[in-house]
Amino acid sequence: MTKDMEQVVQKKRRGRPPLRKVDSRNIELPGDIIVSRFIKPRNITQKQVAEGLGIPLVCFSAMLSGRIRISAEYALRLSLYFGLPVRFWLGLQSEYDEKALDPQTVEKIKSQVKANFSER
């Protein structure tokens, strides 16, 4: 992406941070999993799912694209709609968040934190 294109993306996001690219590390978004394992196999549309969840399509689309996280409320809605436990949906988000951590940030935090437990 050129610098000019990056500036356009920044402007369109109106002060929000730019979307982070983590796909170079092959990290699957929770939304990708929802689409590939739950929406496509059932031959249903995102609009149908959003209506079934009782949320606006724009919010559901934002969740699928990773612009917003799967919150506890959305996890409950997904749980009731697809019949899987709330912790499954929260786990998808949590696993993604952990994998998406910048390796440099991880190392920085490791150097700052002093463990308060004894190893067994």
Is 64 contained in some domain? yes
pLDDT in tens, 87-96: 999 999 999 9
Whole-model pTM over 0.85: no
Q: How many domains does the chain have?
A: 1
Is 68 contained in some domain? yes
Q: What share of the chain is helix, strand, coil (3-state, %, to 5)?
A: 60, 0, 40
Is 65 contained in some domain? yes
The structure tokens 């786990």 sit at: 91
pLDDT in tens, 65-92: 999 999 999 999 999 999 999 999 999 9
Is 54 contained in some domain? yes
pLDDT in tens, 39-65: 999 999 999 999 999 999 999 999 999
The whole domain housing 35 covers 26-100
CATH number of the CATH domain containing 36: 1.10.260.40
Please give the Cα distance from 52 to 24 (Å, whole number): 34
Is 117 contained in some domain? no
**67: its two tokens:** 């612009």
